Structure 1
């Protein structure tokens, strides 16, 4: 019995089918079966399915004698499924590499789930694309397991069949079947979500959802879109038989009417000649199924529902006209934000935003609500010294709350206190961006600290690099930038990049990175203590290998063989490996660490500690290179894929040019060359030292040990950003371990 059964209904997609099947069969996780259902397709799809079935025993070809439509084709495939979990994949879409392995790992970690939902990226024929609008929900879910009654906001997840892994016994046992006609996904998704006892989310893009210019059923106007009423009538018939699900009825009713209104206002679905009749059918549905005591939602949805409830088609048309006029007006962005706010910020957040802000309250977070770290932590610590009247509260994810260091006040994201703090704080400090649902009130101040000097392209510059831009909504990005008041920079290179990549009205604060103050405040005893805690024996030369994330790789794998390199360098060296926070923990790295070949420091809470402990940095294109240069210790660049990285991600300068200011030290492009770089001594020779000096001059421009003080005085105290920057030649970084 396979772990996963993937049901692929197929009809008139011969140009996309091979890519779809290859994306499944090429998955790193092999314990699967594919049930490809030929829905009597008139093109060569049937032959393609047979070809794949002939060469891969995991593929089962099912040929239907007549065309039955997408829903019933899925049902036909489900009858052949034998896996523990069943997934449905549309035949013009594809899986992203590593999806099934990630699903299996999550299920192994948390146990059987009835439903495991994953994210998707929407790609258009024109080249546009973006991650789903529910991306924030996946981020917030973490590894939580819940029922929908406990987390009703997860009803906002995309109502389709192909973004979920269903436990087959649960799905079949509940008797779920896709009905004929369009919009067949929504009722089954609703039924499954409200009956599931264990739901989980995987914060990973798993499907490339292809939006074809022609051929998509939902983009073909006609009477078939009236199927939506029959589909939702089936859902409410199901609810009528399940009184224990009464809690879900108001929520599902609102979603159903919203979905109908969504279809009505789209000319590619409902033709102009049919709109009045379609509106009347919505009104009929509303009158028949409206729950007792139902409260209309706020915002535009509530306005449209009110016209439906009162059968006022003229009022509906007027609301539509007004919405189009506002959309076309000069205040489009501001009004869109207001409308979104009315929908999303009901309840506690709205209540607390009606109260005065607290002039002595600051909110901190780092790396999308991970543990306190980076520039925000350095600002927080300095603010406790220089601005003690300001109380700092950190936002952290639920699963990390127990690991927050003692003495740091914190709130769990989306808790009751979280909404109060976010509504009332005067100061906001982050090294990324706060969520879109956070409204900046008059008088509130936002500090963007960033978290590195940009070698790679960032922000709007990513538009020219599709792999790097995948999932990004640049309009929303600019709305987030509009909240910034101060943007911290460590050098003029960064200042120029931020102002171009993130155009806005904020002020650039050329103060240095607060987190880098540590490199000028630590002494020999501090360095020795950090090395002792890490288990680095005295006299060992510690190399910190800190590779960056690759947008074009599904999972992290080392660019060289760490065990071989460690053996070649001998017992005098120890290799510390720290993977990027975007990359999941590597089984290969775990194995190497267990065998003592390397030290895995990927989840060490302080990268600054690791840098202090290291005699040299072995980097690729990581921004850590710029920070480590403050220590004036050797840096070796291992760049085996520079050409690919620079073309796929885009870069702001040529790191490998060899020109002073561009290249921070010795460079290796092969594993043998890397070993020779250390054996020969080139890694710390005079040429490498000269390159490092020029690199420090260019990129350690403002980092002098006083950056946090400058930021706190400017942001919290409204003073000039003093003290003056210490010239590079007068700075004294922490001593290297060899000198200590």
Structure 2
């Protein structure tokens, strides 16, 4: 049942201006997306730019049922820029958001924009966006990173804001501020260039909403600005308007070189991407050269890169023929490097290509051989080691399904870490090709490579490797910083191979169903790797502490932070030296960096700090420690199973993490123990032994009840019986099984047909 439409506000806070022309197939989605039913102080100003299709009728339909929609029908087509100006003149909201009518707002975006405007009161609010391809695929388009950016800042404080996309639809502007600047959209292409940059440079208050708010639809025909025509000459008067504004406003002088490079770079892109017709390129270059000489700042230095420096020099000399020759040479060089290279490089490449080709042919041939019903492939963390849920399943299968021979896949660099008695192959070898072509079972906590071909009769079990507190899979589409240029088409193709997906708790089930909408069976059985935590003993803990060098009389705190996509390097979120100094000799800190990082060695006091980043088992570290200190790592869901072990959360960048990575659970509302927001709060908690208080234990127990309902110590057994036992009973293939343990006894001295290698 639809929510009732609220009466419009007399003084709307936000006006969404939508020029409309020949978009009848997309207009309904656009309007539905911006009409947030419980926001009365939002108005829609739609300008029907003499659209020849059914857009006018659609607009009238929406206006009739929702009084917040105001429609103006123009008698003649005026173009996008002028239609926006007309809409701006009709808008009454404090803020204005210029929206393209074939795009749409992400779910909850209007509410998020509305709230952010109320909280920060900026002159300009910059929004995140995503590019949606015509076939439905999405490509996250990350905005410039603003690591540690405050809620409100200026262009002088964050000049990198000028590197953002120059469109208006990714910006919400205070209306009186925009009118005060005296800027309006122009006719023709690139109508917003001379408006968006001045708005950013002059703003006394800028803010950034780091979530996807706007979905830019890449229609199959492409945008008009990407097609070749003489209309691209419209860019020059827009550039001139931009420089004229800067000439009249001395306060923009610090940004002159940056804006000059943005303009020159944009114009060169327009020409080099064949948007200018061949017969017009000499003229286009000449006009750009004249603009270059007219507006080049006295202290300007060309951007980095040898080719770019040459282009700037040729523009300064209006040398179009030499420019064409330079482009030809650059193109030829790229072609040569891509296809030929030097003779030595070519020979190496030929050998590598031939070797890869031969291995692929061998793999294809092996696909014709029968599937071995008693062979299982195991992998973990992109073949980095023998660990996590696959290791727990492997161990349990050895006990209760000994006729299933498990072989691990490892990268060559990680082969030395294999425990004794475990068979493995090196990724990419002939043995690997045989194994992947003919094994019955595939168990991994991440996806197997793209080029794996799943045969009928093969069974894939995806175990995952943590409860998804953060957004995963397709849920990451709305968080481009977290997605990091992920190929979602390939992700879903890989996930389509899964027959079973393990869920550790109800939160995981919901997240997996949204993030990986594929045809697998969900196994709600708990995490196999957590069986150890449920069954651990004081003797095991004592032994592990001795192996790790932890004094038995010290309180060992395991610090295990998560990965942060908005940061390029690993850095502890608090001062380790201060922490250990102020807590004193009774504590020792076990530092476990996320496996995505290779942390630099630090000069920490070895009496108080032990770097356990390279330790192969996080379960060992959990058992050996006395308390967990983390931020948003999924390890908290596992650690909650350890009775009497407190969990402390340091959430000093929660807002940034939540906005850039996206989360499925507000850990600040339901923490598994003590929640601290600052380093001082963290120190005070440990000084006063608050993590060991009764109230903290109650919070941990409530968290465990809510998020660990299936971790009873038998998850691995359930996985083995469901996947290895029941799947064989239901298989249409019937083969005599070998004697129990026959495969398990294979070692290096007597390798199986699969060519596996044993321990050294």
- TM-score surpassing 0.5? yes
**Cross-structure match for 1:8:** none
**Cross-structure match for 2:565:** 551
Q: 2:644 matched to 1:630?
A: no
CA distance 1:250–1:512, shift in 2 (3 Å): closer
Matching of residues 299-338 of structure 1 within 5 Å = none
CA distance 1:369–1:45, shift in 2 (3 Å): farther
What are the Cα deviations for residues 165-201 of structure 1, in whole angstroms up to 9, with x where unaligned?
Answer: xxxxxxxxxxxxx8537454121344446534xxxxx
Matching of residues 172-571 of structure 1 within 5 Å = 180=329, 182=331, 184-192=333-341, 195-196=344-345, 346-571=360-585
Match of 1:607 among 609, 615, 618: 618
**Cross-structure match for 2:223:** none
CA distance 1:577–1:51, shift in 2 (3 Å): farther
Q: Quick one: distance in 2 between partners of 1:528 and 1:70?
A: 72
**Cross-structure match for 1:35:** none
**DSSP-derived class of the 1:411 partner:** strand
Match of 1:650 among 634, 637, 662: 662
Query: Offset at 1:373?
Result: 0.3
**Cross-structure match for 1:707:** 715
Q: Quick one: distance in 1 between partners of 2:302 and 2:518?
A: 57
CA distance 1:49–1:574, shift in 2 (3 Å): farther
Query: Offset at 1:593?
Result: 3.9
**Cross-structure match for 2:7:** none
CA distance 1:248–1:436, shift in 2 (3 Å): closer
Q: Quick one: distance in 1 between partners of 2:661 and 2:337?
A: 40
Q: Quick one: distance in 2 between partners of 1:425 and 1:45?
A: 67
Contact 2:375–2:405, Cα closer than 8 Å, also in 1:
yes
Query: Offset at 1:619?
Result: 0.5
Query: Offset at 1:343?
Result: 9.6
Query: Offset at 1:388?
Result: 0.7
What are the Cα deviations for residues 625-673 of structure 1, in whole angstroms up to 9, with x where unaligned?
Answer: 101011031000001000010011111121001xxxx210111111111
What are the Cα deviations for residues 52-99 of structure 1, in whole angstroms up to 9, with x where unaligned?
Answer: 54999x9996624424677965xxxxxxxxxxxxxxxxxxxxxxxxxx
CA distance 1:249–1:680, shift in 2 (3 Å): closer
Query: Offset at 1:596?
Result: 4.7
Q: Quick one: distance in 2 between partners of 1:399 and 1:49?
A: 52
Q: Quick one: distance in 2 between partners of 1:575 and 1:45?
A: 61
Contact 1:431–1:449, Cα closer than 8 Å, also in 2:
yes
Query: Offset at 1:584?
Result: 2.2
Query: Offset at 1:406?
Result: 1.4
Contact 2:375–2:441, Cα closer than 8 Å, also in 1:
yes
What are the Cα deviations for residues 573-627 of structure 1, in whole angstroms up to 9, with x where unaligned?
Answer: 1111101011222x2xx12346555211101011001000111000100000101
Query: Offset at 1:472?
Result: 1.3
Contact 1:359–1:425, Cα closer than 8 Å, also in 2:
yes
Q: Quick one: distance in 2 between partners of 1:19 and 1:548?
A: 40
Contact 2:673–2:699, Cα closer than 8 Å, also in 1:
yes
Contact 1:468–1:649, Cα closer than 8 Å, also in 2:
yes
**Cross-structure match for 1:228:** none
How many pairs are equivalent? 447
**DSSP-derived class of the 1:388 partner:** coil
Contact 1:446–1:486, Cα closer than 8 Å, also in 2:
yes
Q: Quick one: distance in 1 between partners of 2:303 and 2:335?
A: 35
What are the Cα deviations for residues 303-335 of structure 1, in whole angstroms up to 9, with x where unaligned?
Answer: xxxxxxxxxxxxxxxxxxxxxxxxxxxxxxxxx
CA distance 1:695–1:68, shift in 2 (3 Å): farther
Gaps of 5+ in 2: 1-238, 240-256, 266-284, 730-760
**Cross-structure match for 1:302:** none
What are the Cα deviations for residues 484-526 of structure 1, in whole angstroms up to 9, with x where unaligned?
Answer: 1111111111111111211111111111101001112221111
**DSSP-derived class of the 2:603 partner:** helix
CA distance 1:249–1:698, shift in 2 (3 Å): closer
**DSSP-derived class of the 1:592 partner:** coil
CA distance 1:181–1:523, shift in 2 (3 Å): closer
Query: Offset at 1:345?
Result: 8.3
CA distance 1:458–1:419, shift in 2 (3 Å): same
Matching of residues 130-209 of structure 1 within 5 Å = 180=329, 182=331, 184-192=333-341, 195-196=344-345
Q: Quick one: distance in 2 between partners of 1:612 and 1:580?
A: 18
Q: Quick one: distance in 2 between partners of 1:41 and 1:499?
A: 55
**Cross-structure match for 2:687:** 679
**DSSP-derived class of the 1:180 partner:** helix
**DSSP-derived class of the 2:329 partner:** coil
Q: 2:632 matched to 1:621?
A: yes
Contact 1:359–1:426, Cα closer than 8 Å, also in 2:
yes
Q: Quick one: distance in 2 between partners of 1:514 and 1:20?
A: 57
Contact 1:536–1:574, Cα closer than 8 Å, also in 2:
yes
Q: Quick one: distance in 2 between partners of 1:20 and 1:628?
A: 55
Contact 2:558–2:592, Cα closer than 8 Å, also in 1:
yes
Q: Quick one: distance in 2 between partners of 1:422 and 1:447?
A: 14
CA distance 1:247–1:592, shift in 2 (3 Å): closer
**Cross-structure match for 1:688:** 696
Q: Quick one: distance in 1 between partners of 2:264 and 2:622?
A: 44
Q: Quick one: distance in 2 between partners of 1:559 and 1:638?
A: 8
Query: Offset at 1:684?
Result: 1.5
What are the Cα deviations for residues 113-172 of structure 1, in whole angstroms up to 9, with x where unaligned?
Answer: xxxxxxxxxxxxxxxxxxxxxxxxxxxxxxxxxxxxxxxxxxxxxxxxxxxxxxxxxxxx
Contact 1:543–1:573, Cα closer than 8 Å, also in 2:
yes
Q: Quick one: distance in 1 between partners of 2:623 and 2:648?
A: 16
Q: 2:612 matched to 1:584?
A: no
CA distance 1:59–1:541, shift in 2 (3 Å): farther
Contact 1:366–1:432, Cα closer than 8 Å, also in 2:
yes
Query: Offset at 1:699?
Result: 1.1
Contact 2:585–2:608, Cα closer than 8 Å, also in 1:
no
